[in-house]
Amino acid sequence: MASLQILRLADAPEHLDTIAAWNYAEWGKKSGSSLRDSMDWFQSMIGAPSEECVLATRGDDVIGMASLVDHDLDERPDLLHWLASVYVPPAFRKTGIASALIEAVEREAALRDIACMYLYTNTAEQLYTRLGWEVSERFQRGPEGFTIMRKDPRG
């Protein structure tokens, strides 16, 4: 079996269609955006000065993604630098891939001397806590409760 590799989207643009489809299926449909919007968003990250998408690959297959973005939560435009779009297909979950992707984004943020990153979740607070993220606040969006977490990626 091929080993896990973490690559920048810019170094593996052939996976753009796959990750855009994941993003759209997981979050885009709920927000009213289109698959084309997802594709354009990831395309815009290639070569962007402050944003980055990283991919987990094994052989020729992409098996996960995570992103560093400037803004990810409309309700909090005051917060800058977010870990976003962490996704691993169900068949590959609970194997450490998400942790490897999150750590890769944190390293990228540290290289950019970002002192504070944020994320929001309603499903994976335990994972992020285990990786050193701290609860910053909680909020409701409709019937769902969410947690905003923060971390200094520089350690």
Question: Tell me, what's the pLDDT at 153?
Answer: 96
In a domain, 59, yes or no: yes
Indicate the SS3 state at residue 56: strand
pTM (two decimals): 0.94
Q: From CA 61, how far away is CA 56, in angstroms rounded?
A: 9
Q: Within a domain: residue 142?
A: no
Residue 150 included in any domain: no
Tell me the H-state helices in the chain: 16-23, 29-31, 35-45, 97-111, 125-130
Is 31 among the domain residues? yes
* Residue 98 included in any domain: yes
pLDDT for the residue 31: 81
The answer to whether residue 12 is domain-embedded is yes
Report residue 79 as tokens: 């917060």
Tally of domains within the chain? 1
Residue 100 belongs to a domain with what CATH number? 3.40.630.30
Report if residue 127 sits inside a domain.
Answer: no
Confidence of residue 129 (pLDDT cuts 50, 70, 90): very high
Task: Assess if residue 54 is contained within a domain.
Answer: yes
User: Could you tell me the residue range of the domain that residue 84 belongs to?
Assistant: 4-114
H or E segment to which residue 61 belongs: strand 61-69
Q: Is the pLDDT of residue 34 over 90?
A: yes
